[in-house]
């Protein structure tokens, strides 16, 4: 009965001509039809072709371009990702080799003595000792009949894993370049804040000289001098804190570019950097652009193939092993007709009882696939969240930057009026101190908002999976200039 079941299974596999286990199909992921947009975003001409290249060049900053090139050439993180991709491709070659027969050439040359006291095979014939040569040459082959599709599923899994490693490399590159841009823009934002503090310190020193002179003339009390001195000292403390932050960003850039931190330095640069207009595609296009989503999807395909590999263990395996060669005790007759030998055989293996090991392996593979499905869904949802965060973040920061610039202009007018009133004796010096503090606060806030706009633009580009095709080309959704 067992043999009939095995024969029927083999016949069914031969007739079907396919591998056991489920065929892979990417799961359906519910996606919104469009993004939730607020001003200043608008509809634009669609452009489905996406080139995820050197997106950072759209910020038009030569120093940033140089740092990115250095990071891509010298980052140890990229070296690791490239090595893992090479391993995955080599593993694919190993798996693909199982589709073909394995050929081997064997040779033997020996001189041997046969024992005269070896066990008898016939009581009527006595053994004798002989000394002779043995020369043999053989060609061996081995080929597994992939009736259950074990080899096919193994190759499918290795292919998906290699593609996943390629997506992981692309994601590593995207994350690396985004980290370089983030640290660079943080450093430049800190430079602008330090410049604001430097100008405020100059203003506060001049004010301190003024109140000190008036105090020396007896026009004011020492309280005004003490208040101005306290404000100046507080501002100088903030400079030390910002210098520490700048040094940390500089050290991070050194590590990202593969440079020892002690020998890496970036000069102060106060040039204004404007974020580029970032195009947006429809939500479904995010699945095609983001390398982390592609990696999660390929992970599902690899896990699905493992179900087929585990299921194939329920079925018998067949290996054909033909051999042809020559064997002779005289080397001059090695290639004569009588020296020819050959064999053709088929070996079959079928598990009859294993205590549930094969079933447990299948259950393990199915659970692994379910985990990759959950990870894929989580990655897609995270992608949707990050794009929405980027859209709303840039819109809010654009509005906040406009308001901050107006606040800076207003604070400067307030300081001018407070200084004039103080010099005319119409108000106390506390009004001047308050105006100086307000101006410093709004100027630093404006500098920080500029840095946040750049960081959010980088975040959105990363959320969209990288660059887009052609300079100035806009996707289905774009930001107004």
Per-residue pLDDT of 163-191, as tens digits, reads 999 999 999 999 999 999 999 999 999 99
Most distant CA atoms of the chain, gap in Å: 141
Report the alpha-carbon distance of residue 38 to residue 21 in Å, rounded. Answer: 48
Query: How many domains does the structure of the chain reveal?
Result: 2
Query: 31 with 109, same domain?
Result: no
Query: Which residues lie closer than 8 Å to 232 by C-beta, 6 or more apart?
Result: 201, 204, 205, 208
Query: 132 with 35, same domain?
Result: no
Query: 260 with 222, same domain?
Result: yes
With 50 as the cut, is the pLDDT of residue 471 above it? no
Report the alpha-carbon distance of residue 461 to residue 285 in Å, rounded. Answer: 14
pLDDT score, position 86: 95
Query: 192 with 296, same domain?
Result: yes
pLDDT score, position 481: 38
**Which residue would you say has higher pLDDT here, 1 or 177?**
177
- DSSP H or E run through 320: strand 317-320
pLDDT score, position 149: 87
On whether residue 5 sits in a domain, the answer given is: no
**Which residue would you say has higher pLDDT here, 96 or 15?**
96
Query: 190 with 164, same domain?
Result: yes
Query: 324 with 416, same domain?
Result: no
Mean pLDDT across the stretch 380-388? 87
On whether residue 27 sits in a domain, the answer given is: yes
pLDDT score, position 13: 47
pLDDT score, position 43: 34
Contact 287, 29 (CB under 8 A): yes
pLDDT score, position 243: 93
Report the alpha-carbon distance of residue 387 to residue 33 in Å, rounded. Answer: 14
Q: Which of 31-45, 270-284, 422-436 has the lowest mean pLDDT?
A: 31-45
With 70 as the cut, is the pLDDT of residue 479 above it? no
Mean pLDDT across the stretch 269-274? 86
Query: 234 with 374, same domain?
Result: yes
Q: Which of 317, 393, 300 is nearest to 143 (CA)?
A: 317
With 90 as the cut, is the pLDDT of residue 253 above it? yes
Range of the domain at 137: 103-118+128-145+316-349
On whether residue 12 sits in a domain, the answer given is: no
Length of the chain, please? 481
Query: 269 with 163, same domain?
Result: yes
Decide: residue 421, CB within 10 A, 0-12 exposed, 13-18 middle, 19+ buried.
middle
Q: Which of 136-140, 217-221, 255-259, 351-355 has the lowest mean pLDDT?
A: 217-221
Query: What are the pLDDT digits (tens) for 196-213?
Result: 888 888 888 888 887 888
Query: 218 with 153, same domain?
Result: yes
With 70 as the cut, is the pLDDT of residue 342 above it? yes
Q: What is the domain-level CATH number for residue 291?
A: 1.20.1600.10
Q: What is the domain-level CATH number for residue 108?
A: 2.20.200.10
The model's pTM is: 0.78
The residue to which tokens 């040459």 are assigned: 137
pLDDT score, position 362: 93
Report the alpha-carbon distance of residue 153 to residue 157 in Å, rounded. Answer: 6
Query: What are the pLDDT digits (tens) for 283-331?
Result: 666 667 788 888 998 999 999 999 999 999 999 999 999 999 999 988 8
């Amino acid at each position: 009965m067992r043999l009939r079941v095995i024969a029927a299974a083999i016949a069914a596999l031969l007739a079907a001509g396919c591998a056991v286990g489920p065929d892979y199909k990417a799961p359906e992921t519910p996606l919104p039809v469009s993004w939730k947009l607020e001003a200043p975003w608008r509809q634009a001409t669609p452009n489905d072709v996406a080139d995820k290249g050197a997106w950072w060049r759209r910020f038009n900053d030569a120093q940033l371009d140089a740092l990115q090139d250095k990071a891509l050439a010298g980052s140890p993180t990229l070296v690791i990702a490239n090595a893992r991709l090479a391993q995955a491709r080599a593993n694919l070659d190993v798996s693909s080799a199982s589709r073909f027969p394995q050929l081997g050439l064997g040779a033997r040359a020996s001189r041997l003595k046969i024992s005269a006291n070896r066990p008898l095979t016939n009581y009527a014939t006595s053994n004798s000792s002989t000394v002779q040569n043995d020369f043999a040459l053989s060609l061996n082959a081995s080929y597994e009949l992939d009736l259950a599709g074990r080899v096919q599923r193994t190759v499918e899994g290795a292919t998906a894993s290699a593609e996943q490693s390629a997506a992981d490399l692309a994601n590593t590159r995207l994350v690396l370049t985004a980290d370089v841009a983030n640290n660079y823009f943080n450093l430049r934002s800190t430079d602008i804040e330090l410049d604001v503090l430097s100008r405020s310190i100059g203003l506060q020193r001049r004010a301190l000289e003024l109140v000190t002179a008036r105090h020396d003339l007896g026009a004011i009390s020492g309280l005004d001098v003490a208040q101005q001195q306290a404000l100046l000292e507080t501002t100088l403390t903030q400079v030390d804190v910002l210098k520490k932050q700048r040094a940390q960003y500089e050290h991070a850039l050194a590590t990202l570019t593969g440079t020892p931190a002690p020998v890496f330095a970036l000069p102060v640069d106060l040039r204004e950097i404007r974020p580029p207009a970032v195009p947006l595609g429809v939500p479904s296009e995010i699945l095609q652009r983001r390398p982390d989503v592609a990696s999660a999807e390929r992970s599902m395909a690899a896990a699905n193939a493992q179900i087929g590999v585990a299921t194939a263990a329920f079925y018998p395996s067949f290996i054909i092993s033909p051999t042809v060669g020559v064997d002779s005790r005289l080397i001059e007759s090695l290639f004569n007709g009588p020296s020819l030998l050959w064999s053709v055989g088929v070996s079959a293996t079928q598990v009859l009882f294993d205590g549930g090991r094969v079933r447990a392996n299948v259950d393990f593979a199915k659970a692994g696939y379910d985990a990759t499905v959950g990870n894929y869904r989580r990655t897609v949802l995270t992608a949707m969240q990050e794009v929405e965060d980027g859209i709303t973040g840039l819109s809010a920061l654009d509005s906040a930057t406009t308001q901050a610039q107006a606040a800076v202009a207003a604070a400067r007018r307030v300081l001018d009026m407070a200084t004039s009133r103080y010099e005319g004796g119409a108000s106390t010096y506390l009004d001047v101190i308050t105006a100086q503090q307000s101006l410093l606060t709004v100027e630093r806030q404006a500098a920080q908002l500029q840095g946040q706009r750049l960081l959010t633009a980088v975040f959105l580009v990363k959320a969209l999976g990288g660059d887009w095709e052609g300079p100035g080309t806009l996707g289905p959704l774009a930001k107004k200039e």
